[in-house]
Structure 1
Amino acid sequence: MAINLNLNVEAGGEHSVLEGDDHSEHLLTDIGFPAYSGVRSPIVESVFEYGPRVGAWRLLRIFKDFGIKISILGVVRGLQQCPELTRAFVEHGHEVLSHGWRWIDYHLMPEAEEREHIRLAVEGIRSLTGRAPVGWFNGRPSANTRRLLVEHGGFLYDRDALNDELPYWVELDRGHHLVIPYSLETNDNRFDQNHGFGSAQDFSRYMIDTFDLLYREGAEAPRIMSIGLHDRLIGRPGKAVGLIRFLEHARRHDRVWFCTGEEIARHWHETHPPQTSVTVQTSPGVGAR
């Protein structure tokens, strides 16, 4: 069984009038403030700032204690504003993939502008880390995003799907492309939902229950557990203890591989190339069995 931990680092890339946007951010703040038109929201900005100031560093210590390598989903405009933290990600051996140039909705963005954002994101990560990203996760992609990634080249995979638990290939005009689905279920964003997690115990219990079933199923066929984290959410002490409890539980089991998205992608490229794997053009009716 593979466990892939994904830490979203988004501070500095969110909506802000400082970045030329017409409103402030309101998503995943854990405080429920609305977006404010035409003005800054200092409190919301400070919520995001907690991530690179405190939360991410706490999580780095936790992952170091457990000897785990993770995937950093970095919004590049934000990574540029915390170069010391970005260097620490690299020094600790974590994968840094692109979470987009900005942490914004790309659904309606003109194709030419999105193409430029992809270029800026790739060059930004290359400049900060010394290598271009091989993975991509937008979160709110357009219908053009995947095609533009393949057009740009250099990507082993993207995470912009929620439709499976195992990787799969899609066929595009320029060839095959690997998708490693993300998860909004095993994700600390549920702390920001009225019907979601209310405590660290809720988080650890949900993660442990998910792990236990997947581990049981893994006796018959390989399984992947993808976990989404945010430095400004799970990085808080009262939430981080839930992550520690889950990691302690998983560590008590053998046949568990803590891995990055890049490691999964390279394994899939080598062992399940597109000519021998299920290749899909649309999502319905295709899934892991």
Structure 2
Amino acid sequence: MTAFPLPRDLRGYGEHPPDVRWPGGARVAVSLVVNIEDGAERSIARGGVADDLGAHWLRHRPLPGSRDLDLESAFEYGARSGIWRVLRTLRRHEARATAFCCATALQANPTVARALVRDGHEIADHGLGWDAHSALAPEVEAGLMHRSRRIIEDLTGVRPTTWYSRDGLTLHSRSAMLGEGFDYDSNSFDDDLPHPGADGLPLPVIPYAGDTNDSALLSQYPTGAAFSSFLCGALDLLGTEPRRGPSVLSVGLHPRIIGRPAYIGALDAFLSRAADAGAWIATRRDIAAAWASATSA
């Protein structure tokens, strides 16, 4: 068996993480991530190398080579309707999110790009399309990363702060991120706190989360209320667990899912609970900056 060539850190901060607080004395920082993917999904019938339509509800499949227009329209819902419901909810709570943006999704709907910037949300790079990178050669991945960053910057007028791949890091992703000038890395699920990364590169890591993510509404949570209860339970535990130090709670959101009328109430209820609990709702960029300031003092 070939040894994994990248170093791994299984110790982290250990039993005693840094004993600092987020701005305002908060124990928990809530990172809301809105995934702008709708319109960037792959479809074999449209010439893609794979089919992403199963990343919604399951149903019959059309004949090979035929487009599944119904499921395509489910993704279109996120761009046409869901994103605006999500943005209205965030505005009502005065909450800022980090937008993981696929460049082709913004190209297809530039009004979303303008609205994200208008409302003060952080712009991040989620790839040229909603693509897999794990099998790519270094120069191919770096080239795609460069293209997506330039397109997103042209559409939004701001430089994307981080890059997040749909299928995780390759052995060369972090070097490519440094080359593109990203501020931090979001491709990890390994902690509740920011950390330097195990490879020694000057690119801090702000971990993401897969459990506190609305994609599980398609399988794990039977109702929006169940998802809200799950999020609130995570928030309550992080705010009261008997160990020193702060935490980050990442919440993944997809307009085609959480933007549905039956589900948006989960986000509304969670944001109300977070405010009542004194959590700091912040962009990942601000979390990275606050952590660097607090731990270097």
TM over 0.5: yes
TM-score grouping bracket, smaller chain normalisation: 0.7 to 0.9
Match of residue 184 from structure 1: 210
Match of residue 168 from structure 1: 195
Separation of aligned partners in 2, 1:12 and 1:125: 15
Separation of aligned partners in 1, 2:121 and 2:57: 26
Separation of aligned partners in 2, 1:77 and 1:130: 16
Contact 2:43 2:53 in 1 (8 A): no
**1:11 CA drift (Å):** 1.2
Inter-CA distance 170–215: structure 2 relative to 1 (3 Å threshold): same
Q: Which stretch shifts more, 128-137 or 24-33?
A: 24-33
In the TM superposition, what are the counterparts of 1:1-289 in structure 2 within 5 Å? 1-17=28-44, 20-32=47-59, 38-141=65-168, 142-150=170-178, 152-170=179-197, 172=199, 175-193=201-219, 196-217=220-241, 220-254=244-278, 256-272=279-295
Inter-CA distance 114–222: structure 2 relative to 1 (3 Å threshold): same
1:16-55, Cα deviation, whole Å (9 max, x unpaired): 2476314432342123566975442212211111111000
How many residues align? The count is: 269
Separation of aligned partners in 2, 1:212 and 1:13: 35
Contact 1:30 1:191 in 2 (8 A): no
TM-score (norm 1): 0.87
Higher strand fraction (1 or 2) = 1
Partner-residue secondary structure (3-state), 2:251 = strand
Q: Which stretch shifts more, 14-23 or 52-61?
A: 14-23
Match of residue 282 from structure 1: none
Contact 2:146 2:180 in 1 (8 A): no
- The residue identity in structure 2 corresponding to 1:265 is A
Separation of aligned partners in 2, 1:36 and 1:147: 42
Partner-residue secondary structure (3-state), 1:191 = helix
- The residue identity in structure 1 corresponding to 2:202 is H
Inter-CA distance 64–232: structure 2 relative to 1 (3 Å threshold): same
Partner-residue secondary structure (3-state), 1:272 = helix
Identity %: 30
- The residue identity in structure 1 corresponding to 2:291 is W
Separation of aligned partners in 1, 2:242 and 2:107: 40
**1:93 CA drift (Å):** 0.5
Question: Which structure's relative contact order is higher, taking Cα pairs within 8 Å and 6+ residues apart?
Answer: 2
Inter-CA distance 159–257: structure 2 relative to 1 (3 Å threshold): same
- The residue identity in structure 2 corresponding to 1:147 is S
Contact 1:24 1:35 in 2 (8 A): no
Q: Which runs of 5+ in 2 are unaligned?
A: 1-27
